[in-house]
Amino acid sequence: MAQALIEPLLAAGSIAPDQVTAVVGQPESAAALQQSAFRQCVIHAAGSAEAVDVWTAPLQLLAIKPQQVESAAASLPPVSGSPLLVSVLAGVNLSRLQRLFPGHRVVRAVPNTPSLVGQGLTALAWGENISPPQRQNVQDLFAGVGEVLELPEEKLDAFLALTSSGPAFVALVAEAMADGAVAAGLPRDLAHRLAHRTLAGSAALLDQRQLHPATLKDMVTSPGGTTIAGVRALERGGLRSALMEAVIAAAERSRELA
C-alpha cells in the first residue's frame, strides 16, 4: 500500500525521491523496489543505522502487516519532537498505536489501491494533539492520489470493507463477466477489455449523475428483454446477498484484527 501511495506522487513530481526513504524488512522486497520509482531511497531494515534514523523523520508512513506492529514498535529508538506517524494498518486502532509509539502523534489512514491511478479513496481518523500543519500535510499527501474523507474511527472498519476490500470484489465481478462473454463467443482479450470499460463507464455514470443504482438498472432493463433475463439469473444466484456478506465479513475481520 505504501508503494501504491508514494509511486504516483513520485511519478507526478509531487514529491522528490530525496524526500522519501523506504524501509523494508526483506532483501527481496528491497531488490524489487530498487527497480521501481523508489530506486534511490530503499533501505533494507536489518542491521541498518539509516533505518533507525527514519524514526526521526517528521512524517512517517507505517505500512506493514498488522501482526508485525509489535515487533516494529520494539525496534523504536527514543524520539523527540512528536513526529507524525500515519498508519495504514487494518484494525490497529489509535489507542493501540499511541501506546506502542508514545513519542509520536498518530493518525489512522484507510486508503485503497486505485490510488495507483489517482482514483483512490482515503479515510482519515485523527489521534490527539495533531497540529494544523501536520493535519494539512497528511491531507495533502492523500489528496495527491484521490479523494480524502475524515471519519470517526468507529466508521473505519466499514469504510475499509467497502473501499479497500471492494476492489477485489469488483475484480471478481469483472472476471466473471468476461468469462461469461467468452462463453457467449467473444475472444478473451476483448472480453476483458469490454468488461473493464463497462464497469468503469457504469461507475462514472452513477457517480457523475448521482444516480441511485436501481435507477441505472431500470434505465437498461426493458420488459421481456435481455437485461431482465440476466438480472433474473443474478437474483437466482444470490449475487446481491453474496456481495453484502462479503463487505460485512471484511468489516468483521478488520474488527478482529483490532
Contact assessment for residue 109 and residue 122, using Cβ atoms and an 8 Å cutoff: yes
113/192 same-domain check? no
119/175 same-domain check? no
Which pLDDT score, from 0 to 100, does residue 240 have?
Answer: 96
Rounded Cα distance between 200 and 202, Å, is 6
Rg (CA), the chain: 21
CATH number of 8's domain: 3.40.50.720
Residue 135 counted as domain residue: yes
CA 197 to chain centre: 22
38/141 same-domain check? yes
108/214 same-domain check? no
Rounded Cα distance between 87 and 160, Å, is 13
Residue 45: its H or E element: none
Which pLDDT score, from 0 to 100, does residue 57 have?
Answer: 84
Which pLDDT score, from 0 to 100, does residue 48 have?
Answer: 61
Residue 221 counted as domain residue: yes
191/76 same-domain check? no
CATH number of 201's domain: 1.10.3730.10
Residue 227 counted as domain residue: yes
pLDDT tens, residue order, the chain (258 aa): 887 888 888 888 888 877 887 787 777 766 777 766 666 566 666 556 666 778 888 889 998 888 888 888 887 888 888 899 999 998 899 999 999 999 899 999 999 999 989 899 999 999 999 999 999 999 999 999 999 999 999 999 999 999 999 999 999 999 999 999 999 999 999 999 999 999 999 999 999 999 999 999 999 999 999 999 999 999 999 999 999 999 999 999 988 877
Q: Tell me the backbone φ, ψ of residue 149, rounded to 5 degrees.
A: -125, 150
Q: Tell me the backbone φ, ψ of residue 37, rounded to 5 degrees.
A: -65, -15
Residue 120 counted as domain residue: yes
179/76 same-domain check? no
Which pLDDT score, from 0 to 100, does residue 73 have?
Answer: 87
Range of the domain at 94: 2-152
Residue 25 counted as domain residue: yes
7/131 same-domain check? yes
Residue 177, C-alpha cell as written in the block:
463477466
Residue 210 Ramachandran class (φ > 0 left, ψ -120 to 50 alpha, else beta):
left
34/109 same-domain check? yes
Sign of the CA dihedral running 161, 167, 169, 173: positive
